[in-house]
Amino acid sequence: MSFPTIAVTRATQPKTKPLADAALGFGQIFTDHMFSMDYIEGQGWIDPRIEPYAPISLDPSAMVFHYGQAIFEGLKAYKAADGSINLFRPQLNFARVNQSNARMVIPAIDEAFCLYALEELLKIEKDWIPTQAGSSLYIRPFIIATDPYLGVRPAHTYRFMIILSPSGNYYPQGLNPVNIYVEEEYVRAVKGGTGYAKTPGNYAASLIAQAKAYKAGYVQVLWLDGVHRRFIEEVGSMNVFFVIDGKVVTPAINGSILPGITRRTVLELAKKLGLETEEREIAIDEIAELAKTGRVSEVFGAGTAAVISPVGELRYKELVMNFNDGKIGPLSQQFYDIITGVQYGRLKDDYGWIVKI
């Protein structure tokens, strides 16, 4: 396949990389280079380039600042046991860019070219991939509307960028279950809205409930549907799973839920392991009822950042539900071990998940 040439401008003053045992945290450190390309109506996506990471200049009237026409993605590069660089199902991230773009009226990208551009960027930045256990290079592709214009309409010009951030182990203390607050006042998304698109506005809308949950001593929010405030949607920025009578159950993709790649991976893996799976509506009162008799053995979130995030406690109004004595459950552990094992090359990729660079 032949792709447009990517112009490369090397950083003349590379930054000092974090020490091998540094606490990297998440999303605070950025590498030496970034990828950009622009869209101009009539010309398409043009001028692909890798340049030194630096602030960008935009007109204060750039449309993204005013009406939020933008999308983003999140994935990771892992330093594998054999020294290679592993990407986990990156084709699905770039396919989702186009699904998000379609909803936000942003012109489609060439998915294969964007993956190629990411690979070229990673070849230049490979020494930035941290090697401590559980660490990775977080990859943030995003697109913003750049027209200097205050009228409300889809933009005519956009920028696509990829930036990279070395990030530490999500679980420096091991996989500890978290306590979750079931939100019944605010909602994240509604059917017909933008819930299935990875767009910044969904996050802006979620912050108030997040702050409320923190205040009440919880780390995340479990979202209910916007119409009935009854059907379970997601937990924070992860999809959510319940193990009910040994079955792996998750809310069906319904237009307001983000179709997570980790969600899809857990469902595929569960089937491969011979477990029964269900994608359906799950009412919070159903979980409350089943939890009384111990039929919900595990609850966990699933997303790129944490992979699997076990839930020890759900609080719904005055009701406190506990799962698996506040410890990580066996299936949660198994999903975590297999997915991360394949990501870091400790386990053979029998699934076709890994793209090696």
Residues 233-252 that bind ligand PLP (CB under 6 A): 234, 237-239
Least gap, CB of 263 to ligand PLP (angstroms): 6
Other CB atoms within 10 Å distance of the CB of residue 254: 16
Give the C-alpha separation, 220 to 237, whole Å: 9
Whether 122 contacts 80, CB under 8 Å: no
Structure tokens given for 198: 């990875």
Least gap, CB of 195 to ligand PLP (angstroms): 8
Longest Cα–Cα distance of the chain, Å, equals: 64
Pick from 95, 126, 127: which is nearest to 111 by CA? Answer: 95
Binding status of residue 266 toward ligand PLP by CB under 6 A: no
Site string (147-186) toward ligand PLP, x via CB under 6 A: ----------------------------------------
Q: How far is CA 315 from the centre of its chain?
A: 24
Q: Residues 63, 118, 258, 296: which binds ligand PLP (CB under 6 A)?
A: 258
Binding status of residue 198 toward ligand PLP by CB under 6 A: yes
Least gap, CB of 119 to ligand PLP (angstroms): 19
Nearer to ligand PLP, 239 or 324 (CB): 239
Number of chain positions touching ligand PLP (CB under 6 A): 13
Residue 160 to residues 73, 119, 141, 222, Cα–Cα distance (Å):
11, 15, 7, 31
Binding status of residue 89 toward ligand PLP by CB under 6 A: no
Least gap, CB of 345 to ligand PLP (angstroms): 20
Other CB atoms within 10 Å distance of the CB of residue 97: 24
Whether 188 contacts 250, CB under 8 Å: no
Nearer to ligand PLP, 69 or 262 (CB): 262
Binding site for ligand PLP (CB under 6 A): 74, 198, 234, 237-239, 258, 260-263, 303-304
